[in-house]
Every structure is written in C-alpha cells, then in structure tokens.
C-alpha cells in the first residue's frame, strides 16, 4: 500500500518532466528567433540582445533545458520580462480570486449534479431524466462566455439583482460581498461541470443498478431508496470522481474565460495580460503551474480510489 503510494507519487515525475519539455520546446520550435518574438515588433536590436542574454538563448538547447528544469526544481518559474517580478510572486498575488472561483464552482457543481444525475438514473426514461439529459447536452453546447453574458443580461442589466462584474475577497471584505460578486461567475462556470458530472453520475448509477448485488439487496427486502444510497452510490463513485479530475482541465480553461467576462483579477487575467504583452516567461510559468495543479489533483484522486473501493489495493 505504502509502496503503491510512493510509486504513484514518483510516477508523476516523468509526466511533469514531459510537460516541462513540451512547454520548453513550444517556445524554441516556434518560427523565428525566440528572443525577437519575445521582444516584440517594436524592439531594438539591444532589446533583443538583452532578452537573449537574460533567457540564456545562446547556449546549446540541452543546456538551456537542464538549466530551466534545475530552476523549476528550486521553485523558480521564471521572471516577468516587463515587471521584472518572479512569476511565483505574481501567481501569489493573483491566486486568491481564481482559487475561490474554482472552489465555489466545483462545490456548487457537485452539490447540484450528483443528486440530479442519481435522480435521472433512478427514474431513467422519465421526464426528469429527459430534462437532465437535455440540460447536459445543452451545457456542453453553450460557450461559457456567451452563458456569462446571458446571465449578466438577465440578472444584472434587466433584474439588477447581481453585480455586472468584479471580485470581493471573503477575507478582507467579508463573506456577504464575496458571495454577492462570486455568484454569477460561479454559476456560469459551473454549468458545464453540472452537465459533465450529472451525465457521468447518471451513466454510472444506471450501470450499477443493473448489478447482481442490487438484485441481492432487493431479495433481502431492502427499500429502493436505501438501495440507492447504500449500495448504488458508493459503487458508482469511482467514475464520477475520475470525471471530476478530468474536469479540472476544463475548469482551468473556463476560469480564464470567466475571469475575463466578469473582470476578476485572477490568474486567468494574468495569462491574458501576459499574452497581450507577449510576456512569455509568465505564460510559460502559468502553463506549468496549471499543469502541475492538474497532475497533483489527479494524483490525489487516484489515491482516493482506495478509500472508495476496497478492491483497489495496490
């Protein structure tokens, strides 16, 4: 068991190295001289030379990669070209709104989607089921920003009950203003997750309800409600938890867009500003940061399987 955990943790290392390699190569393999790409269209020859020096671009590519990995291992994600600040510091300044948005979204999505999916499975073929399936197909089809604008139009511009944009920290400005501002972005972003999780919950519960042990429970005289809560849900959990893990990738993309729509000063905005400013160390650093977060969360989810299903013992 312990051995498995160690192995599993170690197995993330090659994946992280690969991610680092992708991100590294992306910049080097792009057409043109990376230094002048980074420096931008209006840079002078000195600027380009300075950037080349700063990024060590004259060294052999292997040396560059190893040096970069070495600095990554020390927790150094690079330095912004324009502000001169370390990327880690910038992430630290901007992480709170993003984290809060992600947490409220995931929580809301799970709380809504799991009961919805279970209900749909339990009443497969019914009106409720059709509604849930329709909602989930719809949820996959509307782009998150369009949804955001529709909600802004309804709740902010027409009804005037929620603010158009902005973010208030729950730590410095109180929980009330925080919720008041986070509701719309969070609901917007959660729609696709509700679709994703409800769909998987439904499929998984339907499959479990076909299992022999459900029949055994019926043969014992157990009630349908208890069969659902006691026998079906826990067995259906692994695929649902897996899909939440995969959904993290989707969430990260969604955060960038949602922050942009609702003008939330988080990591998503940091990326977009960096793209506009062509501040590549920030883009690189953030992609790596998000990828590592994804790998870490999926590691935790993998390890949680042992708690959900006693058959999984490594």
Partner 1 sequence: MSILEVTNLTVKLPDGADRPFAIEDVTLKVEKGQILCIVGESGSGKSVTAFSVMGLADRRALTPVSGTIKLDGEDILDIDDARLRKLRGEKMSMIFQEPMTALNPVLRVGDQISEMLEIHTDLTRSQRKTRVIEAMTDVRLPDPEKMYRSYPHQLSGGQRQRIMIAMALTLEPQLLIADEPTTALDVTTQAQILKLIKDIQRRKGMGVMFITHDFGVVAEIADHVAVMKHGRIVEQGSVAEVLGAPKDPYTQKLIAAVPSMIPPEREVATGQIALETDDLVKTYGQAGLLGQGRVVKAVREVDLTVRRGETLGIVGESGSGKSTVARCIMRLVDPTSGEVLINGENIASLREGQLRSHRRDIQIVFQDPYRSLNPRRTVGQSIVEGPVNFGLSMNEAKARAAELMQVVGLSPDALERFPHQFSGGQRQRICIARALAMEPMILIADEAVSALDVSVQAQVLDLLDDVRKRFDLAMLFITHDLRVAAQICDRIMVMNKGEVVESGFTSTVYANPQHDYTRALLAAAPGQIGPAA
Partner 2 sequence: MTDQATQPAPGAAAAKDISLARIALRNRGVFWGGAVLLVIALFAIFGPFFVQDPTALNPINRLKPPGSEGLFGTDMLGRDVFSRVINGAQVSLVVGLFVAVIAVALGLFLGLIAGYIRLMDALIMRLMDGLMSIPAILLAIAMISLAGATLTTVVIAIVIPEIPRVVRLVRSVVLTVREEPYVEAAISAGTRVPTILVRHVLPNTIAPLIVQATYICGSAMLTESILGFLGAGIPPEIPSWGNIMSEGRTFFQLTPWIIFFPGICLAVTVLAVNVVGDGLRDTLDPRIARNMR
Residue from 101, 151, 287, 301 binding partner 2 (CB under 8 A): 287
Quote the CA–CA distance of 240 and 127 in Å, as a whole number: 23
Percent helix, percent strand, percent coil in the chain, to nearest 5: 80, 0, 20
Question: Is-contact 204 266, C-beta < 8 A?
Answer: no
Distances (CA, A) of 99 to 37, 203, 252, 259, 295: 32, 30, 10, 12, 16
Distances (CA, A) of 167 to 20, 175, 184, 189, 239: 32, 12, 11, 15, 34
Residue from 95, 272, 308, 312 binding partner 2 (CB under 8 A): 272
The alpha-carbon radius of gyration of the chain (Å, integer) is 24
In the window 193-212, what residues touch partner 2 (CB under 8 A)?
Answer: 196, 199-200, 203-204, 207
- Specify the DSSP class assigned to residue 32: S
Residue from 7, 63, 66, 137 binding partner 2 (CB under 8 A): 137
CA torsion angle 46 48 52 55 (round to 10): 110
Provide the token pair at 252: 């990260």
Quote the CA–CA distance of 137 and 131 in Å, as a whole number: 10
- In the list partner 1, partner 2, none, the entry touching 220 (Cβ below 5 to 8 angstroms by class) is partner 1
- In the list partner 2, partner 1, none, the entry touching 216 (Cβ below 5 to 8 angstroms by class) is partner 1
Residues paired with 79 in a beta bridge: 86
In the window 249-268, what residues touch partner 2 (CB under 8 A)?
Answer: 249, 252-253, 256-257, 260
Least CB distance to partner 1 at residue 224 (A)? 9
Grouping H, G, I as helix, E, B as strand and the rest as coil, residue 79 is strand
Residue from 46, 160, 220, 225 binding partner 1 (CB under 8 A): 220
Least CB distance to partner 2 at residue 231 (A)? 19
In the window 1-30, what residues touch partner 1 (CB under 8 A)?
Answer: 3, 6-7
Grouping H, G, I as helix, E, B as strand and the rest as coil, residue 167 is coil
> Is residue 99 part of the contact set for partner 2 (CB under 8 A)?
no
User: Site map for partner 2, 140-169, x if CB under 8 A?
Assistant: xxxxxxx--xx-xx---x------x-----
Which residues lie near partner 1 (CB under 8 A)?
Answer: 3, 6-7, 211-213, 215-223, 230-231, 234-235, 308-311
Binding site for partner 2 (CB under 8 A): 14-15, 18-19, 21-23, 26-27, 30-31, 37, 133, 137-138, 140-146, 149-150, 152-153, 157, 164, 196, 199-200, 203-204, 207, 239, 243, 249, 252-253, 256-257, 260, 271-272, 275-276, 278, 280, 283-284, 286-287, 290-292, 294-295, 298
């Amino acid at each position: 068991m312990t051995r498995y955990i160690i192995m599993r943790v170690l197995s993330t290392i090659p994946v992280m190295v690969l991610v680092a390699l992708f991100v590294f190569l992306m910049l080097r393999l792009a057409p043109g001289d990376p230094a002048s790409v980074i420096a931008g269209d209006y840079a002078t020859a000195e600027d380009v030379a300075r950037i080349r020096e700063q990024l060590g671009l004259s060294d052999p590519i292997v040396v560059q990669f190893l040096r970069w990995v070495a600095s990554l291992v020390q927790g150094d994600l690079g330095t912004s070209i324009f502000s001169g600040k370390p990327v880690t510091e910038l992430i630290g300044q901007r992480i709170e709104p993003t984290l809060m948005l992600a947490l409220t979204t995931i929580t809301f999505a799970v709380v809504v989607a799991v009961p919805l999916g279970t209900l749909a499975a339990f009443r497969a073929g019914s009106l409720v089921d059709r509604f849930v399936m329709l909602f989930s197909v719809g949820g996959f089809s509307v782009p998150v920003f369009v949804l955001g604008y529709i909600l802004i139009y309804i709740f902010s511009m027409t009804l005037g009950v929620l603010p158009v944009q902005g973010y208030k920290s729950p730590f410095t400005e109180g929980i009330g203003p925080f919720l008041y501002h986070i509701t719309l972005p969070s609901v917007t972003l959660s729609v696709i997750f509700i679709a994703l999780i409800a769909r998987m919950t439904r499929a998984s519960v339907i499959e479990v309800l076909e299992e022999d042990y459900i029949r055994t429970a019926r043969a014992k005289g157990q009630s349908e409600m208890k069969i659902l809560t006691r026998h079906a849900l826990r067995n259906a959990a692994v695929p649902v938890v897996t899909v939440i893990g995969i959904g993290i990738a989707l969430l990260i993309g969604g955060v960038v867009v949602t922050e942009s729509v609702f003008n939330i000063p988080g990591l998503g905005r940091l990326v977009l500003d960096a793209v506009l400013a062509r501040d590549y160390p920030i883009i690189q650093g953030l992609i790596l940061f998000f990828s590592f977060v994804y790998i870490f969360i999926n590691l935790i989810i993998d390890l949680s399987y042992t708690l959900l299903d006693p058959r999984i013992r490594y």
